[in-house]
Homo-oligomer: A and B are copies of this chain.
Amino acid sequence: MARGKGVTIRDVARRAGVSITAVSHSLNGKGTISEETRARVKAAADELGYQADAFARGMRQGSIGAIGLVMRSLDALGDYTPAGVDVFERFAGILSSRALARGLSLTLVPDLTRSPVPPLAFSMDGYVIMSPNAQDPVIDLLDRRGIPYVCYGKLLDKPDFTRWSSEDDPLAARQILAHFEAAGAREIVLVSGTDRNAWNADFLQEYLSWCERHGVTPRVYEQSERSGLDGGRDAGLRILADGVPEAVFCMTGRHAAGVQQEVLAAGLAVPGQVMIAAASDSEHARSSRPAITAFELNPAGTADLLLDMLQELLKTGETMGPRLTRARLRPRASTRKD
C-alpha cells in the first residue's frame, strides 16, 4: 500500500520487452540506450503509471530529494503557534513551495533532540535551520551525524561558520536608527527579545554602538518574543516609568503595538512625542492606529538563497556564505514627523 500502486521496474521491463537495466537507464538518462528503446520504455512506464519507489532509490543513492526544516524559534512553543512575526508564519510555506520547484519536498521537523524523533529525520538529504540559538543542540546533533545543513541566521558562537543566509540585520538596525535620527530623535529605547539568536544580538550590538557614538546612555528592555501584546504593554509601562523617550524600537510587531497602547494611554502623542517602530512587520504593526513603521523581511529571497547553498553543499560538499538579503523599511504613521 502507498507504494506507487505496486508497479515496479520489473513490470515496466516486461511490458517494454527489455531488461530492468534498460528501464533504469532510459528513465534516468544514464547509460547508453538507443533512442528507440528509450522511447518504448518511456511509453510503457507511462501506460503503467510507473513511479520509481523513493525508498529503494534512496537506499541506493543515499539521498531522496527531501529536506527538513527546523524552526528553532517555534520549538519553545508546544503548538507551533506563530509568534506574531510575519516571517515565521510564512517561512515554512514559502520554503516548501520554493523547494518543490527544485524537486525537493520539505518536511517539518520539530526539535530533533527531543524524542520521539520521526524515522525519516536522519535520512533527510539536508536541513534548513531557522533562527538557530547559541550553543544549539540541534546544530551539534547534525554536526555529529554529518548531516548537511544551512541556517537562516548566523551561528552566534561559531563565527567561522558561513553556511547561513538572512536579511542584513546590522544594516537594517543602522537604517532604522538613522530614520529616527532624521526625525529628530536622540533618546532611543530598544525592546529586545530574549531568544539567544543572531537577530537579537545584531540589533542589540548596532544599537549599543549607535548609543556610544552619540554619547547616549543605552536603555534596553528585554521581553520574551512569546509574550506578545501583553509583553509589549509591560515593556511600555516600564519604559514610561523610567522616563519618556523620543523613540522606541521593538524587535517584534506585537511588542511595538503593546508599547504604543501604553504610550497612548499615558496621554502621549505618537509620533508627536514618542515615535515607535518594529524590526519585523506583522498584522499588529500594520493595523495599529497609528500604523507602526516596520521592516518587511524577505523570507522568499532568503529561502531561495538557502536552497541554493544547500543544493551546492549536497552536490559539491561545500558552499560559500553568508548570503544576505535586504529587509524593506515600511515607514508608517508612527514615525511620521512633519
Residue of B nearest to A106 (CB): B108
Q: How far is the CA of A289 from the CA of B52 in the complex (A)?
A: 55
Question: What mask results when residues 26 to 61 of chain A are scored 1 for a CB within 8 Å of chain B, else 0?
Answer: 000000000000000000000001011111111100
What bracket does the count of chain A residues touching chain B fall in?
A: 35 or more
Contact assessment for A74 and B59 in the assembled complex, using a CB-CB cutoff below 8 Å: no
Question: Would you give the shortest CB distance from A306 to chain B, in whole angstroms?
Answer: 15
Identical chains bound together, number? 2
Instruction: Describe A's contact surface by its main secondary structure.
Output: mixed
Among A62-114, those with CB < 8 Å from B are 62-66, 71, 74, 78-82, 89-90, 92-94, 96-97, 99-101, 103-110
Residue of B nearest to A142 (CB): B2
Let me know if A287 is at the binding interface, CB within 8 A. yes
Question: What mask results when residues 281 to 294 of chain A are scored 1 for a CB within 8 Å of chain B, else 0?
Answer: 01110011100000
Write out the residue numbers on chain B whose beta carbons fall within 8 Å of the beta carbon of A210: none
Q: How far is the CA of A99 from the CA of B178 in the complex (A)?
A: 46
CB-contact partner of A94 in B4, B81, B93, B146, under 8 A: B81
- Chain A residues within 8 Å of B, Cβ to Cβ: 1-5, 49, 51-59, 62-66, 71, 74, 78-82, 89-90, 92-94, 96-97, 99-101, 103-110, 116, 118-126, 144-148, 282-284, 287-289, 300
Q: List 29 A-B contacts (CB under 8 A).
A: A1-B63, A1-B146, A2-B126, A2-B145, A3-B62, A4-B122, A51-B122, A53-B123, A54-B119, A54-B123, A55-B58, A56-B59, A57-B119, A58-B119, A59-B59, A79-B94, A80-B94, A81-B93, A82-B93, A92-B93, A93-B108, A105-B118, A105-B120, A105-B121, A106-B107, A108-B108, A283-B287, A287-B287, A287-B288
With contacts A2-B125, A80-B90, A82-B90 known, what are 10 further pairs, Cβ within 8 A?
A2-B62, A2-B122, A2-B145, A53-B59, A58-B119, A79-B97, A80-B96, A80-B97, A101-B116, A283-B287
